[in-house]
Amino acid sequence: MGIAVGFSLREFLTPQAQGEKLITIMSRGQNYQITTEARTVGEVLAEQNFDLDRNKITLSPDSAVQSGMVVEVNRSITINIRDGGAAAEVVTSALTVGDLLYERKIALAATDRLDPSPESFLGEGMVLTIDRIVDLEVVETERIPYALTLQHDPAAYYGQEAVTQRGVDGQTEKTFLITYKNGVEIARVLLSQRVIAAAQQEIRSFGTKIEVIEAVEGRASWYAYKDCMCAAHPFYEKGRFVRVTAVNSGKSVIVKINDRGPDRSVHPDRIIDLDATAYRELAPLGSGTIAVKTELLR
């Protein structure tokens, strides 16, 4: 009532042109006054560029304009909602973020995150982001790999292997508190764990008996191949073991033949080509080639 009287006094005290009327427009929490010669409310709103198809008004557009009139316009705006990673564009006349959530029947859990806050006023083109945060206890099982133990068997020839006890993987059960953001895991905390099946080690016997079939002297070169205790030989069967001894130092290594070489037609003095890993046990790689004795093992 007080507001209406204030508008009437202002109209009375403010000189106006013939036919002009002073009215107040209320829209989205803002009030402003205009003078108009329009005859209907619809014409006033058209002058102010209000789209009657998108906006709701408290009076009929055909209502006659009277000085001191208050016209309330529920102006619709476009808001972009990103809820749980899914995007949607909505048209609303809601005033605040909280009003929009109520209008769209969007519920929030205690752990969800909302930006901006429910008290924030909406504006054209605003982006409203809702991150759905969920904490779940999840039980997972993990494999416990079995350990391998080699036992030397002096009665078996070098390199022969036999499984005396088959290894069996174990299993552990872990309980995690996993945090998901919009369905994607962002954090996990280990709450507890227990072994539900113990692993059983595998035991293998490895032959260590040395019996030399033949011995040859010459030079050994090296190559970078598989980073293993292995070597290439011109004709020894792949899978056979050869003991290689450096003549100068007396150092020895046992290698497994897994490739062919060196080319005796190019390097007739070379009798074996060692992997760099094996060669390094006998001499620096910078030495290039060294004098060796090779012994083919049974």
Distance between first and last Cα of the chain = 114
User: Per DSSP, what are the bridge partners of residue 53?
Assistant: none
Closest CA to 297 of 214, 205, 236, 208: 214
Q: Is the pLDDT of residue 13 over 90?
A: no
**Domains located in the chain, CATH noted:** 2-74 (3.10.20.30), 77-131 (3.10.20.90), 136-149+160-204 (2.20.230.10), 210-297 (2.40.40.10)
Q: Is the pLDDT of residue 42 over 90?
A: no
* All residues at 6 or more sequence positions from 83 whose CB lies less than 8 Å from its CB, including other chains: 106, 130, 132
The reported pTM is 0.58
Torsions phi, psi of 3, nearest 5?
-65, -45
Q: Is the pLDDT of residue 5 over 60?
A: no
Confidence of residue 112 (pLDDT cuts 50, 70, 90): very high
Instruction: Say how far apart CA 86 and CA 81 lie, in whole Å.
Output: 8
- H runs (alpha helix) in 95-218: 97-103
Closest CA to 259 of 215, 223, 219: 223
Instruction: Say how far apart CA 130 and CA 71 lie, in whole Å.
Output: 34
Q: Is the pLDDT of residue 149 over 50?
A: yes
Residues 53-75: tens digit of each pLDDT: 666 777 888 889 889 888 887 77
Percent of the chain with pLDDT over 90: 71
Lowest mean pLDDT among 6-20, 168-182, 195-209, 250-264: 6-20
Confidence of residue 8 (pLDDT cuts 50, 70, 90): very low
pLDDT averaged over every residue in the chain = 90
Q: What is the CA radius of gyration of the chain?
A: 44
Amino acid 227: pLDDT: 87
Amino acid 184: pLDDT: 96
- Strands annotated E in the chain: 21-27, 30-36, 56-57, 70-74, 77-83, 86-92, 113-115, 127-131, 133-144, 148-157, 161-165, 170-181, 184-197, 202-209, 212-223, 230-232, 241-246, 252-259, 270-275, 290-297
